[in-house]
Chains A and B, each alone.
Chain A
Amino acid sequence: MTAGQFGSLSDMMTYSVRNHTAFIAANYQVSERFSLFANLVFNDGRGSLGNLELDPTQAEGAPPGFNYRDISEIGRYSALSIGRTQQMYGFNWEFAPNWVASVVGYYANYVDRHPWLFETDGRTAGVHGGISYIF
């Protein structure tokens, strides 16, 4: 075959998405004046393009500097694997009539196990607390 232009290569490609999402919540009214709560959310998400299997023999005589065999690897470049956690724990305490102290602890984590464009791992943890006057 004369070197130059040829036709095409093709294959059926696949894309898979998988998500596991779990919630746990607990609420406890310990007494008339004191209550506790907790919320947890876990999410594991994945997405990937299935490996292609092009037949490089179909491109024999292709122009020099071309490689169709390794196109099967392109699924790796855009694969996603992400783990997320969000947790909240807190309490409300009516320490005096109409006065409530509340504290919430908060933690969120993002784990990028297979960075796509750049690593996007992150974490934030904090506390939110204060006093409420109820009237």
Chain B
Amino acid sequence: MKRTTTALSTTLLLLALGGAAAAQESAGSPPPDGSGGHFFVGTRGLDNANYLGKVSEYDTARQGLRPSVGTNFWIQRGSTFLDVNGEFRGDARDQQYGVDFQVGRYLRIRSYFVQFLHRLDHDPLKDFDAGKGGPLVWHEDHAPGVDYLPNYNEVTTRLEFTVPHAEWLRFHAGHRSYQRHGPVQARTIAHCSSCHVQAVTKNIDQRTHEFTGGVSLRFHNFSVDYEYLNRQFNERGETPMMLYDASIHPVKLIPIFGNRVSFDDRDGPLPFSMVPDGRKSRHSLRARAALPGDAKLSGAFTSASLTNKFTGLGADTWGWNGKFTIPIGKRLQFLTRARQTDVDADDVFVEIQEPTAIAGPHAGLTYPEAYPDFGSASFMRYSVRSRNRFSWKGELSARLARYTTLRGGYEFIRLKRDNFEIARTDTNRLYFTFYSRRRDTVGGDWSWRLRYRFDDVNDPFLHHKATLPPALQPYPSPNLSPFAGLQYYKLYAARQADLTAFPTKAHTVEPTVTWMPSMRFSASLHYRYRNLKNDELNRSEWKRSVHLPGVELWFAPLERLDFTVAYTFHNEHSESLFGIPVYDG
């Protein structure tokens, strides 16, 4: 094994070293030497007022005058090319640079750096302020007035190396590093019997390092690409801690019960708003072959593994897809594609120390022991991420005339969920697109496009038994006290109505027409209409309609003067069942 590895590595190294300096002649005329570009020096002055989080969401927007420099230059010497660009916008948190360096067509290095702010909201929690003499809804913002301006920066570098004298072989390697750091708001709530919402400032320092490496083999009729990706995500910022309030009786307002909510102040300060570190690796293999008759066959295989480093939970993904396309005659093009993705995520048993009541008729008993018809609480959590998705598509594109294409197809998608009430969702999709251009006519140039898509979905995702049905269901309490009656689990068990935001039927229509009577004027009308409906819910119907009409005009009254005017209107209307239990806990 070691000998084989050494032989292979040596071979590759010799190829690389031996060929790097032996640049072949350029094809045809050698490229001329040259350079160009610009340097910019200036200043930027801003006058800001009020809240900047929306008006300058991604801008540092520093008040006053700041320097600003920028450059964009390139140099070509034979087959060596260097391109550099950069901008500094007067604030170290807002800059962007890029470089592209090519040597003799064998080596290319590209690197890119960007840094910018993202202003986030500071929820003042002021809506949490109510009371009824006993139970309260109240809030504490432990960092009032703090601006939440995390910074985002990213460096991406990619290297491509073509092996001299074996130019069918190309290696690439890349590194991407990005970071989010700065203050954000972290919130949590303690309840029973008051709802106490609290917010603190959490200083995040999230760093991701992503390494890729791969090889491409290119032959005349065949190519293979392989890439390996490894991504490490770490949250270096501290996880905030909170002391959750004592659980108290809602009327007597004293802690006469045990911990009715699984944890409270008796467990000491507890972490919240925690971001787990993660690790991901992925292998991707793709191959493509040109076949006789101008047909193309391509396929890909992906295998990935994602791990939550805090819990050790993982999700493995593997998938494949294959595509075949072939022209039929001069005017038709046929495409078929199949794809499958399988996700297998870990299930987990959540170890819980079930609290027991400390007083009253159920002293010493857990909740299921006190209410036998609650059933045994299952703390095994089966991941809803585990699933299998298969799709197949067939499509035909016909060139009806010059610049006129009609494309239509059918796609079937089957989604199987391993651990969810809706175990399987099937989608049947029909679509067509008509596109036509007419040029050099008396009336000017016209182009039309019409796209239509219809989705018929069986058993889409929904929340099963999400709410009580519209019909009133009285549950008289055993006595007149509202707090000695129906228990939570009986209320939840009485839910029957399903709720969803997914359609069973979806229509999408998009017509577009553009008219260009001359080189100085063009007008375009476009419309996008979507109608989505789920009329298979057991107790209601969900609907959504979207209208997006728009017009665009471009006009050049003079050769050196042009105007563009565009307007788009978006009207979206949704309907869904609202349900509320008439209940008092």
Contacts and interface: CB of A to CB of B under 8 A. Distances in A.
A and B touch in the complex (CB under 8 A): yes
Interface of A: 1-30, 52, 54, 58-59, 62-63, 65-66, 68, 71, 77, 82, 84, 100, 102, 108-110, 112, 117-135
20 contacts: A4-B477, A6-B583, A7-B472, A7-B474, A8-B467, A9-B580, A19-B568, A21-B570, A23-B564, A27-B562, A29-B560, A63-B584, A68-B582, A102-B40, A108-B55, A120-B121, A121-B50, A121-B51, A122-B53, A125-B46
Contact of B569 (A4, A19, A29): A19
A135 B37 contact: yes
A71 B580 contact: yes
Contacts of A125: 46-48
Nearest to A7: B473
Nearest to B57: A110
Contact of B38 (A1, A8, A132): A132
A119 B51 CA distance: 8
Contacts of B43: 128-130
A2 to B, nearest CB: 4
Q: Which 10 A/B pairs are nearest by Cβ-Cβ distance?
A: A130-B42, A4-B477, A8-B468, A7-B473, A126-B46, A29-B560, A122-B55, A19-B570, A6-B582, A110-B55
A15 B46 contact: no
A8 to B, nearest CB: 3
A124 B55 contact: yes
B580 A5 contact: no
- Interface size bucket, B side? 35 or more
B25 interface: no
A17 B53 contact: no
B475 A4 contact: yes
B127 A117 contact: yes
Interface of B: 35-56, 59, 61, 68, 73, 121-124, 126-127, 132, 467-477, 479-482, 485-486, 491, 494, 497, 540, 560-584
B38 A7 contact: no
A18 B473 CA distance: 38
Contacts of A63: 482, 584
Contacts of A1: 474, 476
A2 B473 contact: no
A120 B54 contact: yes
Contacts of B53: 120, 122
Contacts of A134: 36-38
Contacts of B569: 18-21
A131 B37 contact: no
A63 B251 CA distance: 14
A21 B571 CA distance: 12
Contacts of A66: 582, 584
Given A7-B581, A131-B40, A122 B46 contact: no
B5 to A, nearest CB: 51
Given A27-B561, A117-B121, A124-B47, A16 B580 contact: no
B48 A123 contact: yes
Nearest to B487: A5
B473 A118 contact: no
B49 A65 contact: no
B570 A13 contact: no
A16 B567 CA distance: 20
Given A4-B477, A21-B570, A118 B578 contact: no
A127 B44 CA distance: 6
B567 A21 contact: yes
Contacts of B39: 132-133
Given A28-B560, A122-B52, A133-B39, A7 B582 contact: yes
B574 A8 contact: no
Contact of A25 (B44, B56, B563, B580): B563
Given A27-B562, A123-B48, A129-B43, A4 B485 contact: yes
B575 A12 contact: yes
Given A15-B576, A110-B55, A135-B73, 15 more contacts: A8-B581, A8-B582, A11-B578, A14-B574, A19-B570, A20-B568, A20-B570, A23-B564, A26-B561, A28-B560, A63-B482, A110-B54, A119-B50, A132-B39, A134-B37
A120 B573 CA distance: 25
Nearest to B482: A63
Contacts of A123: 48-50, 55
B51 to A, nearest CB: 4
Contacts of A108: 55-56
Nearest to A14: B575
Contact of A10 (B47, B122, B477, B579): B579
Given A20-B569, A120-B54, A4 B582 contact: no
Contact of A18 (B479, B563, B571, B576): B571
B55 A128 contact: no
A20 B41 CA distance: 37
A18 to B, nearest CB: 6
Contact of A77 (B45, B127, B572, B575): B127
Contacts of A118: 51, 122, 124, 126
Given A12-B576, A21-B567, A26-B562, A130 B41 contact: yes
Contacts of B581: 7-8
A122 B49 contact: yes
A51 to B, nearest CB: 11
